[in-house]
Copies of this chain bind each other. A is one copy, B any other.
Amino acid sequence: MSRFTFHVSSYSLQNTVSFGIDAHLTGASMSLLVTGSIGLDTLETPAGKREQVIGGSAIYFSYAASFFAPVRLVGVVGEDHPKTLFSVFQGREVDSSGIEIRKGSKTFRWHGSYLADLNNAETVEVDLNVLAERAPKIPQNFLDSKYVFLANTHPVLQQEMLASLKSPKLVVADSMNLWIQTQRPELCKLLSKVHGFVLNDGEARLLTEERNLIKAAQQVLKMGPKFVVIKKGEHGCLLVSERGAFVLPAYPTDQVIDPTGAGDSFAGGMMGYLATQGGITSAATLKRALAYGTVVASYTIADFSLDGLKHADRDQIDDRWHDLKTAMSF
């Protein structure tokens, strides 16, 4: 009987964990570019309701990543953008000069409910508004970004934005059901150009028609990425690369107030940490990055909108990361 083999890097964990932002890695050399959505969310969960609070993949990602590395945020909103938009990152190293305020357009709005299932949002209403128009332009001074996260949007736009960058070292993309179903050829083209791909379990099964997530991830690897991360919500995440598989449960918590943004915060924590590691994607580095993503997401879900992340700091994140590391060992 053949058995599944783990290939674990011999890379020493003890001496290489880098906390804080290394002094020699600043500016463009560590800058993490994210392109994604910015929106106004109305959220209903068993814990209550919030109306028109700030949300969107790029917002959660940027806040989460900023615990690790300076972030360059590219996105587009309408004239009706939330007043808090430019104060939300106060005190954080997030360069929001890449946010375009488009005249005559309206901001993306999403109304989601977790009343039936805290693990799966039901979309009550969605108004794409400005997201249904052309993509925002990446500012000239962001084009030298080395680390790039292409949050979910039309795969043609993702490719265009990627093509405009000068010399990215590590590019990771996200997607969604809609593009898998309607833009498969373009999504496959995008996959051939990225280093990593992040998707959830349902999307992995939809993309590959394979129920077993390890087999599904292995199929995605054949489309181009060097590593695939499958997010399983409360069940944690799975990393598959040519070097093997790594599974990580979600941080065990009884504080789940609002799961919105958990996946984007996970990606932010993961990419933020990878940006501090000079683009190394060894098995050991990726595992630590996934654990950081997991921990950051545990703060996001503990309150509505960005309130959970706002109550976290890097020391707490590191403490919780070490708690998880200890709790996972046996």
Interface, chain A (partner B; CB < 8 A)? 1-6, 8, 13, 118, 211-212, 214-215, 218, 232, 235-236, 238, 244-256, 284, 287-288, 290-291, 302, 311-312, 316, 319-320, 323-330
Contact B254 A323 (CB under 8 A): no
Contact A1 B328 (CB under 8 A): no
User: With contacts A287-B330, A325-B330 known, is A250 near B252, CB below 8 A?
Assistant: no
CB-CB under 8 A from A8, the residues of chain B are 326-327
User: With contacts A284-B330, A316-B3, A330-B284 known, is A252 near B248, CB below 8 A?
Assistant: no
Contact B248 A249 (CB under 8 A): yes
What is the bound-complex CA distance between A232 and B234, given in angstroms?
Answer: 11
Contact A291 B249 (CB under 8 A): no
Contact A254 B330 (CB under 8 A): no
CB-CB under 8 A from A302, the residues of chain B are 1
Report the nearest B residue to A323, measured CB to CB.
B6
User: With contacts A327-B246, A329-B328 known, is A320 near B3, CB below 8 A?
Assistant: yes
10 cross-chain CB contacts under 8 A:
A3-B319, A13-B330, A214-B252, A218-B254, A232-B235, A245-B252, A245-B327, A246-B327, A249-B249, A284-B330
User: With contacts A287-B330, A329-B328, A330-B13 known, is A236 near B249, CB below 8 A?
Assistant: yes
Residue picked from A6, A214, A232, A326, most chain B C-beta under 10 Å: A6
CB-CB under 8 A from A287, the residues of chain B are 330
Residue picked from A8, A247, A320, A323, most chain B C-beta under 10 Å: A247
What is the bound-complex CA distance between A248 and B247, given in angstroms?
Answer: 9
CB-CB under 8 A from A3, the residues of chain B are 316, 319-320
What is the bound-complex CA distance between A6 and B322, given in angstroms?
Answer: 10
What is the bound-complex CA distance between A118 and B210, given in angstroms?
Answer: 12
What is the bound-complex CA distance between A235 and B287, given in angstroms?
Answer: 18
CB-CB under 8 A from A291, the residues of chain B are 330
CB-CB under 8 A from A249, the residues of chain B are 236, 247-249
CB-CB under 8 A from A329, the residues of chain B are 13, 325, 328-329
10 more A-B contacts (CB under 8 A) besides A1-B312, A236-B249, A244-B327?
A3-B316, A3-B320, A5-B323, A6-B326, A212-B254, A214-B254, A236-B247, A247-B249, A247-B328, A284-B330
What is the bound-complex CA distance between A325 and B290, given in angstroms?
Answer: 17
CB-CB under 8 A from A13, the residues of chain B are 329-330
